[in-house]
Amino acid sequence: MNNCWKTVNISREIGQGRIYIMSSFMALLAFILLFLPYSIYHHNVLIKDHGLLPLIITLLTLPLVHKLTHVIPLILCYRRIKVHLHLTMGFIPTLTCKLRSFLSKKTTMFMWLGPTLFLTIPGIVAAIVLPSYYPYILLYTAINIGLSFKDFVYIKQIVNAPKKCLIEEAKDGYDILIKNSTH
């Protein structure tokens, strides 16, 4: 039997407005800090422009791709998950995921680090390898870093949890469970 050590609900603890502000600030700061050295490194490169529509489409799909990168670690760790794809506002693809089992502390941290491992790091490398597209790749990467703000807050909560805890998805967050000790 497990007891709830802590319920983590970032939206309730920090507030949705503050999360949006901090995420936006983090994305802007990431873009500035990434763009400056890359623009110096790629100072003679001709930037390829394919118009505004492809940029808007890729930016609208970024939250979906971000969410998918949370699912990849769960698949790699053979965890059961229910995934539902639907459209928000009639045209923005949105992914809803529901865990079907408890997660270990390591699996949970791997899940929350998924967007960093599968989008941010490859984006930083791709901006070097594909110099003609580096501003777009860095924009995409910076926005992903902003979207990852909430992930980093969850990681901080999980790091502070007991070593042998289990994580369960709750209605508006996650429950950190510990085994009931019997004397």
- Mean pLDDT lowest among 20-29, 70-79, 83-92: 83-92
The whole-model pTM stands at: 0.89
User: How far is Cα 66 from Cα 123, in angstroms, rounded to an integer?
Assistant: 13
Q: How far from 122 is each of 32, 44, 79, 104, 126, CA to CA, in Å? A: 18, 23, 24, 26, 6
Q: Which residues contact 151 (CB under 8 A, 6 or more apart)?
A: 70, 112, 113, 115, 116
pLDDT band at 99 (very low <50, low <70, confident <90, very high): confident
pLDDT tens, position by position, 44-87: 999 898 889 989 988 888 999 999 999 898 888 888 888 888 88
Give the residue extent of every domain in the chain.
2-8+34-178
